Structure 1
């Protein structure tokens, strides 16, 4: 169990649906809960409200991917390659480090390194670290990938596949991507994004990432979403009623309470030279 206390900040281990987790809690009451399976953020409560969507229909068997929260998709985005969908990192056990608290903020690192299970499906030496940093009204997730090969480059795609909680998808809008190149994966058409995105039916689009923050408004609150320029893309996804009904790990109307806004690398793999490092982050701020 990791423990840290500073100005009332604390971290503790607990079980959620039978899975080992770490929870950070700030003096202001904000909390984040992270499962060791996948270093998967399951919950972020800020200003008394749950900010992430987590499906109640998950198996919680320690093997199946968890639907909702923030899956770490690594080292492959979706099925764009020969690895399992969205890679293997979200299904494997990560190691939690000691929590570090400073003033009214705190963070904890989770590490996944080359092991027999990863080598069985991916012949690559690496160390991946997800830092989960909590401050009042703010959650920052930073993924660091180290290529520990002596000679070979490391190539990967992936995402921080963030499921944001909304009160009603029909009343939700996302701003900040206006004019950015857009690929509509449902219709397979390319264009430029509207200034405000609205959601009526299945929505699955990939954008060139924007330099400015995005703003998600769901009728009762606004969330600011930022990502580092090291992620080339932003993905916005909602399955809509029809596709949601076909997902065994989603409730029938779960689509109405969530919107994925992902920091991602979809098309062109990131390349890390031998001994090199890559860092990419996503930051969510209640505004």
Structure 2
């Protein structure tokens, strides 16, 4: 049985899954962060070349795991602590047609000081030809309930944001966080300047068309919302870990829980997933 291949990337301990077709995924133990997904010879995730590496700060790009807090909606560090902590490798397997790797984060003295709960969070990264699937599970190992918000904060690589559109959200409730306006989603989303919107999760897949291809994005019903974000040129210029033109080559489409926290009873478990498929 083959397993993931250890690799060091920008000083971080990582593991790579590679299929015979050439598709691959690279995952760092720091934050259980998916850094790269190559499919059909193309990098599908955006990773900022201006990142501040060193294993102390959050990584800009790839797929950050936001847990147990979305953004600044609470007293914890922005997007929670999971994305800046060391996770442990729980196992991996590589076969001819599929591969997966599992990483785990357990409550410890650092998390207890920030968030007084006993828990175990596991991320399973599964690779098939043309497809990447991310499973996030939260196990409450405490004797009291816990609640959390969060996201799989996926940064997609696009050729040109001006030529990119997203469909599949038409008619869904929409909150424009930039203008603080509530409404419903149009048939297609286009991007001209800062775009930061939260949508009620759609029942079907989303399609991201970026001029040279289409990516299909699905998420489990256990996530209540989908977030679509691009900083635009002005906001991008204020981000120290982004190049000035970084906004033009990325788009975040996130499986998220933003508004109402997810409650997990004592000894209970929650599972959420996001699936990306090259179309």
TM-score (normalizing by structure 2):
0.99
> For each residue in 1:50-83, what CA deviation from the matched residue of structure 2 results, as whole angstroms up to 9, or x when unmatched?
0000001111110110000000000000000000
Which of 264, 268, 274 aligns to 2:260? It is 268
Alignment correspondent of 2:113: 120
Q: Quick check: 1:183 aligned with 2:175?
A: yes
What is the aligned counterpart of 2:234 among 242, 246, 267? 242
Say whether 1:203 aligns with 2:195.
yes
Is 1:232–2:224 an aligned residue pair? yes
**Aligned residues of 2:91 and 2:103 also touching (Cα < 8 A):** no
Matching residue of 1:73: 66
Given the alignment, which residue of 159, 162, 186 partners 1:170? 162
Structure 1 runs (4+) deviating above 3 angstroms are: none
Deviation per CA, 1:133-159, whole angstroms, max 9, x where unpaired?
000000000000000012x11100000
Tell whether 2:104 aligns with 1:104.
Answer: no
Tell me the number of residue pairs that the alignment of Structure 1 and Structure 2 aligns.
279
TM-score normalised according to structure 1 size: 0.96
> Equivalent residue for 2:43?
50
Deviations for 1:8-46, whole angstroms, at most 9, x for unmatched residues? xx5211100000001000111000000100000000000
Using the alignment, how far apart are the partners of 1:103 and 1:51 within structure 2?
Answer: 21
Q: CA RMSD, aligned part only? A: 0.7
Query: What's the counterpart of residue 213 of structure 2?
Result: 221
Rounded to whole Å, the distance in 2 between the matches of 1:106 and 1:275 is: 29
- Looking at structure 2, the residues matched to 203 and 121 of structure 1 have their Cα atoms a distance apart, in angstroms, of 31
CA shift for structure 1 position 103: 4.0
Between stretches 100-109 and 197-206, larger displacement belongs to: 100-109
Match of 1:256 in 2: 248
Paired with 1:80 and 1:17, the residues of 2 have a C-alpha distance of: 31
The yes-or-no answer on 1:212 pairing with 2:204 is yes
**Larger CA deviation: 168-177 vs 91-100:** 91-100
Offset at 1:102?
4.0
